[in-house]
Amino acid sequence: MILIFSPHKSILCLMIVSFCLIGFLCLESARGQSNAEADSVSYFEGLMEQADTPEDFEKARSWLNRYYREKVNYDETLIPDYQLPDPLITEAGRTVEDRAAWISERRPEILEMFEHYVYGKVPEFDYEVIYKTRSIDPEALGGKATRKQVAVLFDENRPDLAVEILIYLPNHAPKPVPAMMGLNFYGNQAVHSDDGIRMSEKWMRPNENIGIRNNRATDETRGVYSERWQVEKILERGYALVTAYAGDIDPDEYNRMHQGVRSLVYNEQNKQTEPASDEWGTLAAWAWGLSRMLDYLETDEKIDHQRTAVMGHSRLGKAALWAGAADERFAIVISNNSGCGGAALSSRRFGETIGVINTSFPHWFTKNFNLFNGREETLPVDQHMLLSLIAPRPLYVASAVEDRWADPEGEFLSAREASPVYELFGLQRLPASSMPEIDNPVMGTIGYHIRSGGHAVTAYDWEKYLDFADKFFND
């Protein structure tokens, strides 16, 4: 063999070897880094699940929250490939061909998966139902309305758990009226400036801007959210408005369960102090509370309770959707900017993700839902299947163009992908195959709009909700 020594070749060889070495080292360090990252994630996940002290829990929660927030994506081109589960194929792989199979087999199966993995089962428990009329004013709002305030108590010895319902009924209605029901964020007094509304005395999340001081509402909060509620418009259109403060049912903070209705189940006496992995979180507690408010409406002859629409904004939109899915007495379901864990598809991982939401609000969902932090592809359901549980009842989903955190496109696609279940009932699907123009609602038995502006509820939104409800409620 003759070896030909060439200085050029040896330099070339040396260069190739060095490049390979550098490449190898880079890859190894990236792998090392991602291994280290995966190790930290699983360490903090374990700590969050099993923390012995509130400090450890908070350390884990905030580390994971930062981690998932750094990964938040707003670029359509970076959405991972995903395949949505088909609402019309059972877990055993059978195609649902008719309504009977949907009702007896597939719907219960989907409902159970949402209970188990996402919102949580409400355990069996005994509770009392005590209604206390706080006040009735037949001449409210300058004589336009009757204002009723009624408390629901679940245990005589727990007056602290009273859910204070505010009802406005249009005066001079010739027959029982349909109702718009929804929970509010900061107490009934924030819904309208009417000073006959009782001031909430419950704990509230901090919000200096609207007049929450030391976690309590002050007079400044009266009417601050009147735009979100459009009381006069609702009454003029012949509907009653029924609302209560979500925090009356379950305070919106992870360590305050003992101040909400779930404490009727979890307490020292019952020897279970917190929910099992598949039991209700705060969203399911709010939904349960909405059902109890509907129980009350069944006793009010001025309201046609069979024509009750449940509506909610944002986190309360998530609760409204789950209430509508779990309780088929709600005749129409409306979700406003409900986003992640609401109407938006989780698989798209656009804006808020499961990892972010579970580490921002660890009390909202089941503990099981944490299994899907950063692992959306392993979740056996997606939110279009939640929407499909509303069928055959009318469903309206609304987004706002600047509310990218809630992923408007994901909310639209979810409503579109729930359509086959409506078609199974011979009902009109969402009449749009791609995102409609801004401020241009589409209304089949599923309706949708994307409004200009940001995360809010506006007069425009309410006009569309009332138009949509009129389509089905007017005889």
**Pairing relationship of beta strands 163-170 and 145-153 according to DSSP bridges:** antiparallel
Amino acid present at 155: D
Task: Write down the least CB distance from residue 11 to ligand GTR, Å.
Answer: 58
Instruction: Compute the distance between CA of residue 244 and CA of residue 68 in angstroms, rounded to an integer.
Output: 33
The structure tokens listed for 320 are: 């409204």
Q: Is the dihedral of CA 288, 289, 290, 291 positive or negative?
A: positive
Q: What residue ranges in 404-445 does DSSP mark as E strands? A: 442-443
Question: Do 163 and 143 contact (CB within 8 A), yes or no?
Answer: no
363 catalytically annotated: no
For residue 441, whether the previous peptide bond is cis, meaning omega lies within 30 degrees of 0, is no
Residues that bind ligand GTR (CB under 6 A): 314-315, 339-340, 352, 357, 360
**Judged by CB, which is closer to ligand GTR: 357, or 424?**
357
**Judged by CB, which is closer to ligand GTR: 315, or 451?**
315
Beta-bridged to residue 165, according to DSSP, are 150
Task: Write down the least CB distance from residue 265 to ligand GTR, Å.
Answer: 25
**Judged by CB, which is closer to ligand GTR: 73, or 360?**
360
The structure tokens listed for 76 are: 């359509």
Instruction: Compute the distance between CA of residue 296 and CA of residue 136 in angstroms, rounded to an integer.
Output: 15
Closest-approach residue to ligand GTR (CB): 314
**Judged by CB, which is closer to ligand GTR: 228, or 305?**
228
Instruction: Compute the distance between CA of residue 329 and CA of residue 237 in angstroms, rounded to an integer.
Output: 22
Largest CA distance in the chain: 111
Catalytic residue among 314, 346, 388, 414: 314
**Judged by CB, which is closer to ligand GTR: 120, or 339?**
339
Task: Write down the least CB distance from residue 346 to ligand GTR, Å.
Answer: 12
455 catalytically annotated: yes
The structure tokens listed for 3 are: 């070896």
Task: Write down the least CB distance from residue 191 to ligand GTR, Å.
Answer: 16
Catalytic residue among 277, 291, 360, 455: 455
Task: Write down the least CB distance from residue 362 to ligand GTR, Å.
Answer: 13
Annotated catalytic residues are 314, 455
